[in-house]
Amino acid sequence: MPLEQVPYRDSEGAQYWDQLFHQQYPKQDIGLSYCSSVPPECHQLYQLILEDRNRHALEIGRIEPVTENDLVSGFSSFSPLQH
């Protein structure tokens, strides 16, 4: 990853990461203010769901090398993360 894309706090890289995040997630997944269809009685649950997703699911990923065989078969082998 180029140094200018490393997401250090308040850096150009952090701004770059935020841009990618907003491109990948629909607005209603970012916050309640973007989702008018959620009834008021569900606002607290909606916020809890977003907080839980942010705490446990964001920034989780892994990188695997692509082999020539992967390119020929059209997909990469995948094995679930082991806990």
Q: What is the pLDDT of residues 9-61, one digit of tens each?
A: 888 888 888 888 778 777 777 788 888 888 999 999 989 988 888 787 766 66
Q: Which residue has the tokens 């390119």?
A: 71
In the predicted structure, residue 81 carries a pLDDT above the cut 60: no
Give dist(CA 11, CA 2) in Å, integer.
Answer: 13
Positive/negative CA dihedral, 52, 30, 82, 1: negative
Let me know if 28 is exposed, middle or buried by CB neighbors in 10 A (0-12, 13-18, 19+): middle
Q: Which residue has the tokens 């995948």?
A: 78
pLDDT of residue 66: 73
**Confidence band, pLDDT 50/70/90 cuts, at residue 79:** low
pLDDT of residue 83: 45
